[in-house]
Amino acid sequence: MLWDIALEIGENTVRLATRENGLAFTAPSLGAIQGERLVAIGDDALDMLGRTPPGVRIARPVENGLISDARLVAQWLTRLLEPFTTGAKINRPSVAFVDNGLTRQSERELLSGTAVGLGAGQCGFLLADIAAAAGAGLDIRRPDGFALADIGAGRMSVSLIAFGRIARTRQIPYGMNRIDEDIIRLVRARAGMAIGPRAAEDAKMVLASALPAREVTASVVGLDMNTGFPGEREISAVLVKEAVEPIVGALALAVQEVVQDAPEELSADLLRTGLILTGGGALLSGLDKVLAERTGLTCHIPETPSLCTGKGMARIIQDPLLSELAIRKG
């Protein structure tokens, strides 16, 4: 069948693609909540991150690969689907949701039930790693196997893909956001400074690398735990490397397990096709080199790896053959 809409609600990002226009919408998935009331969503909520007024909290619809705030999920579905269902652009549009591989049956039922309640027709599910592979420009129907590591904000996965199917996979229920959390923890413990998620993200962008730590530092601003006043500290790449290494180690181990568990004929394919890195985490400095050293696979990073899932969603729903292969009716 033909699918009208593909939709992903992730830990950091929501994406919507249509068969007519391709990838049509991308926004931060955050929501700002005061009591029981949603006061901001998307970019407006992101602007409040780290500077929320009393009584307001920043929520994510998904954390560690699982739905953490069903009301925020419902708000996003309403915002994204109502223009199609109430404006009669499409009569009962069919919706394919991206399944990150950790999604539980109860969560699939929540997504599809909410969508149908908003006026959608048939609902289905598309595995995130298949979408990422398609968005990386790969022919997911090819018979020879290839490995893909999708490195996101809230989850990471390594999958062996052949004939449009996932032959082997390992799911890691955390991702690059864990680095930010560990930077916050380490700066508090080592430097006596309480910093927020924005400061941790900035430090990660400047100092994070999978390679051995360089002799460089960056300045962070936060609350001095000794004085109770705002302050500034220099933190080193060595400290940030301490936050990065568990992520790199977990990812390398997952790749090794998938490769070791692969059928013999697909193992031979991997020596030729290598490992494709997608997701925003693929841009971590030196990650491709370190994974190649630890796994023995040549690593490839497609152009704009953070957009691979979104581009793959669009590509699949625009191609009836790929849709038939990749989307499972829910």
Q: What is the pLDDT of residues 212-262, one digit of tens each?
A: 988 899 999 999 999 999 999 999 999 999 999 999 999 999 999 999 999
Q: Which two tokens stand for residue 272?
A: 């030729």
Q: Which fold has domain 143-301?
A: Nucleotidyltransferase; domain 5 (3.30.420)
d(CA 14, CA 43): 11
- Per-residue pLDDT tens, the chain, 330 aa: give them: 889 999 999 999 999 999 999 999 999 999 999 988 899 999 999 999 888 888 999 999 999 999 999 999 999 999 999 988 876 666 799 999 999 999 999 999 999 999 999 999 999 999 999 999 999 999 999 888 999 999 999 999 999 999 889 999 999 999 999 999 999 999 999 999 999 999 999 999 999 999 998 889 999 999 999 999 999 999 999 999 999 999 999 999 999 999 999 988 888 899 899 999 999 999 999 999 999 999 999 999 999 999 999 999 999 999 999 999 999 997
Query: For the chain, where do the domains classified as CATH 3.30.420.40 start and end?
Result: 5-130+308-329, 143-301
3-state secondary structure of 85: helix
Nearest 5 degrees, angle CA 239-CA 278-CA 81? 110
d(CA 235, CA 208): 12
Residue entry with tokens 């962070």: 220
pLDDT of residue 265: 84
For the domain spanning 5-130+308-329, the CATH number is 3.30.420.40
**Cβ-proximal residues to 136 (8 Å cutoff; 6+ apart), any chain:** 148, 276, 278, 302, 305, 308, 312
Single pTM value for the model: 0.93
